[in-house]
Amino acid sequence: MSRSNEKVLSYQDVLLRRADVELLRESEWLNDQIIAFYLEYLSQERLQGRPGVLFLPPTVAFLICNALSPAELMPMLEPLKIPQRKVVLLPVNDNTSVERAEGGTHWSALVCCPEAAACIHFDSAAGSNRSAAQRLCRAVGPLLGLAGAPRLVEARMAQQRNSHDCGVYTIAVAEAIAGTPDLESRSADGVREALERFPFPEPAGMRRGVRDLVARLAARQGRAPGAEEQPE
């Protein structure tokens, strides 16, 4: 087994290998696994007691947008009770190829408010992922219990200064949701305004924080990831 393929952390349904963890270094583009891990971590550790909030992993968002019809997805997603949620986060990826499920070049975040029939799009390269967000917004409508597509609203957020931090900003939106405890009681405009005001961390600090988190969790499992000691 190559070193890059070594298992570093098994967390809930997410398996991180060394190659995944190394993407948390500077100048690397985050993949599905890292984003899925952090969303799952926030769900388990920060969203307990907040049944109105749901984070969906990148693979599910991709299936909704590109692969399966609402009729095929409904039985799979019914246990999640998506229409009853107040705030639902879906990672947006511009990949449209079912042949390359982990492809794409840009991440953003779609925050859906089913009761308001609205989805709020947070894009750290404003406009770059709008068409992908529109596709996902149309596809998710039936799963939100809506007859048509939700209203799509573009939100303001900090903008990336390079081509590789989009995934970091995407998980930062999840961090903002987890860090705003009364979000579920707000209107869609209130959700947007609260998240726009949230102080987003610098990407380098966010990368270090997630890398250190992986190291701590791996140590509890008796694994030594080592990636946390890589230079920035």
Domain CATH number, residue 29 = 3.40.395.10
Catalytic residue among 112, 113, 119, 166: 166
Which residues on neighbouring strands pair with residue 113, listed in sequence order?
118
- The β-bridge relationship of strands 53-55 and 87-93 is parallel
Residue 181 placed within a domain: yes
Distance CA(211)–CA(171), nearest Å, equals: 13
Residue 229 placed within a domain: no
Catalytic residue among 20, 32, 94, 123: 123
Q: Is 70 exceeded by the pLDDT of residue 230?
A: no
Residue 191 placed within a domain: yes
Residue 84 placed within a domain: yes
Residue 231 placed within a domain: no
Q: For residues 130 and 154, is the Cβ–Cβ distance under 8 A?
A: yes
- The β-bridge relationship of strands 87-93 and 107-113 is antiparallel
Per-residue confidence at 1, pLDDT binned at 50, 70, 90?
A: low
Provide the domain limits for residue 42: 3-223
Residue 124 placed within a domain: yes
Per-residue confidence at 227, pLDDT binned at 50, 70, 90?
A: very low
Residues 6+ apart with CB under 8 A from 63: 73
In the prediction, which pLDDT does 100 show?
A: 65
Catalytic residue among 106, 112, 119, 165: 106
In the prediction, which pLDDT does 184 show?
A: 97
Averaged pLDDT score across all residues of the chain: 92
161 CA to centre of own chain:
20
Residue 232 placed within a domain: no
Number of structural domains in the chain: 1
Q: Is 90 exceeded by the pLDDT of residue 103?
A: no
Q: Is 60 exceeded by the pLDDT of residue 213?
A: yes
Residue 193 placed within a domain: yes
What tokens appear for 100 in the block?
A: 């390359």
- 123 among known catalytic residues: yes
- The β-bridge relationship of strands 118-122 and 87-93 is unpaired
Residues 6+ apart with CB under 8 A from 28: 22, 164
